[in-house]
Each structure stands twice: as structure tokens, then as C-alpha cells.
Structure 1
């Protein structure tokens, strides 16, 4: 299946490739301080080409196993974001978790709102999923707006849900029935 699609301004949302290791390392290095409050503490190796190659190798195995769909947002061969459908569960659930980030210099133009809308179509039409869920830090209003613009509804708060920026932090939980 082809999970690629073109968004506005020539930006492409597509599954990751091993060849994305260098562009992803560059994107993570350029956005390291910007992403730090929203992400787990990462080892130094994560920010290298080899570190990203290792991450991509695991993500591609998840893709092959049908448990995840990791995708990059690419503009002129540069990675400007990442959107992953992970923890795909089949059977009676047909559910996936959505996680994403956008480069600091690509913020504010609706890019992730469009990318999530495209990912929802892929999730329903190509993956046959019934439900998507997402979690945001309580103070991450930008991410909450992306979800709400795409019809996600808040359904609760998970206490000490994820270890972000070195601390266990509460998250607002969202879902979207497809």
C-alpha cells in the first residue's frame, strides 16, 4: 500500500525510510531545545545519524509487523515533522495511538493539522482502523488545537502518564472515532 500524500506547499507525508536517518538527525539537532519540554530525555546517540538509523530500523520492523505506521513530513528533502500511528491493535479494538511533532520553523501554518487529517484518512481507508487516541501534556494547547480541529474529543486525564522532560507528567487524553 502507498501511504504517501502531498500536503500544502509541496510538503509530503510518507512512511519513513532508512535514508531518512541523516535528515531526521539534522531535524532533531536543529529542534532539540524546542522539543525538549515535550519529549522524553534522549541519550546523545539519539541525535546522531547512527542513532536515527537505529531508531528507524526498529520503526521499520514495527511497520513490517503491522503495529505502527511511522511517517515523516518532508519539504525539499528536509524533515519538518514526524507523525506516527503506533501501538496498532487489531481484533475487536482496531485502534492506534497518534504521536507527532513539527519543526519550530514550520509551526503555526496548519501543517500538522493537515498531516493529521491525512493520517486519519489513511488510518480508516487503508488500515481499517476504527479509533485513534492521543495524549498531550496539560499545557500543550497547540497540540490540543490540532486534535480538536480534527474532531478529536477529550475524554479524561491520565495521571503521571509519560516521563517527559525527565518528570512523570499528567496528560490530557483524546480520541477520535473514525
Structure 2
């Protein structure tokens, strides 16, 4: 699959990651360690060393294999974080999941919802997927605001779903299918037509998370 990136909306851009992004991304991760660590996936078998150059190489191989689409988010031409469309399944499932991180100094600029909207539109129109999912920890209020803004539909509580920051963490699952957004996720949001209650979490799930 070949993606026609970058995609732009105002000062925000989404493009495929490049090998030469490694140093910048590594610096951002180190600088933002305290900001990002509570939300980072971890290995239940113990800590492992991470090489950003190798990580990008693997992500780009997954892209060539059709298993993922690794992006960087930019703000006024400066790298602000990463967004990965991962776990791409074809055939009767035709779905994927979005994960992302953004540097603290870029928080509050609308980068994440804009990038998530653009990535979902890319998945539906260029990758020809049918369903996009985002799973979010109950404590991650900033990410919950992203799905609320974009009108992702709440689909349930997943117990011990991902190993994050040293333990198995519960997640809320949200999703959109292509038929939900014929005009595109970004256009629907920009035009103020995203349903405001789609991401509402039932009280019972809030109590048990």
C-alpha cells in the first residue's frame, strides 16, 4: 500500500515516519519521560532496551507488509509526536487500531484530535479499511476528550487489556466504521457535526474501571 502523505490541516500535518526522524523522536521521548511514562506500554516479562532507529525500521517494515501505518505528527513543521495505525486486519475484519503520543510542549494545540481524524480518514479512504478502534485508559482524561470531540462510539470496557507502566490496565474501547462518517472524520468535526454523546461511558463501566 502507498499513502499519499503528508496530510495537512492548518499548522498540523501527518506524514509517514522516516528513518532520519529517529534522533528527534528519541530526544522528545527522553525530554518528555515524566509526561509520557504513565501511558507507555511495557513488557510484562521485564524491561527491554529500545533503539528508536530499529523501532522505526520495524514500523516501516510493518508498513511495507501492510500490517501498519506509522506517522509523525507535526506542528508548524516541527515534530510533535507519533501516531501509529497498527494491527491492520484485512478480509472480513478490515480493521485497525490507533495509538499515539504527543510532547507536552505541544499539548492543548488540537494536534491529537486533528491527527486522529486525519489518520482515520486515511484508513477509510486510502487503506480501504472498514473500522477504526481506539482504546484508552480510564485515567487518561486528555485522550478521552479526543474521542469525545471526534464522536467515536463507546463500545465497552476491556479488562487488563494492555500492559502499561508496569501492570495490566483496563481500557475503554471506542470505534468508528466507515459508514458513520461518509463526509470524513475531520470534516464532520470541523463542521461541528460530531455527535457529542457517542463516547459517553455508562455509569456501570465507570464504577468498575
Tell me the TM-score normalized by structure 1.
Answer: 0.91
In the other structure, the counterpart of 1:55 is: 55
Contact 1:23-1:77 at 8 Å conserved across structures: no
Deviation string for 1:46-70 (max 9, x for gaps)? 2xxxx10010010010000011001
Instruction: State the 1:77 CA deviation.
Output: 5.7
| Mapped partners of 2:38, 2:163: distance in 1 | 11
* Runs ≥4 residues deviating over 3 A: 41-45, 75-78
| Mapped partners of 1:23, 1:165: distance in 2 | 23
- Matched position secondary structure for 2:112: helix
- Matched position secondary structure for 2:28: helix
Instruction: State the 1:76 CA deviation.
Output: 5.8
In the other structure, the counterpart of 1:26 is: 27
In the other structure, the counterpart of 1:72 is: 72
| Mapped partners of 2:104, 2:165: distance in 1 | 17
| Mapped partners of 2:27, 2:136: distance in 1 | 25
The gaps in structure 1 that reach 5 residues or longer are none
The number of equivalent residue pairs is: 173
| Mapped partners of 1:21, 1:78: distance in 2 | 14
The answer to whether structure 1 residue 5 and structure 2 residue 21 are counterparts is no
- Matched position secondary structure for 2:129: coil
In the other structure, the counterpart of 1:99 is: 99
Backbone CA RMSD of aligned residues: 1.6
In the other structure, the counterpart of 1:40 is: 41
Instruction: State the 1:44 CA deviation.
Output: 7.4
| Mapped partners of 1:83, 1:62: distance in 2 | 14
Quick check: which one's strand share is greater?
A: 1
Contact 2:75-2:111 at 8 Å conserved across structures: no
| Mapped partners of 1:6, 1:52: distance in 2 | 25
Q: Note closer, same or farther for the CA distance 1:111–1:128 as it changes in structure 2 (3 Å cut).
A: same
Contact 1:62-1:68 at 8 Å conserved across structures: yes
Tell me the TM-score normalized by structure 2.
Answer: 0.78
| Mapped partners of 2:88, 2:48: distance in 1 | 29
| Mapped partners of 2:48, 2:96: distance in 1 | 29
Instruction: State the 1:3 CA deviation.
Output: 2.6
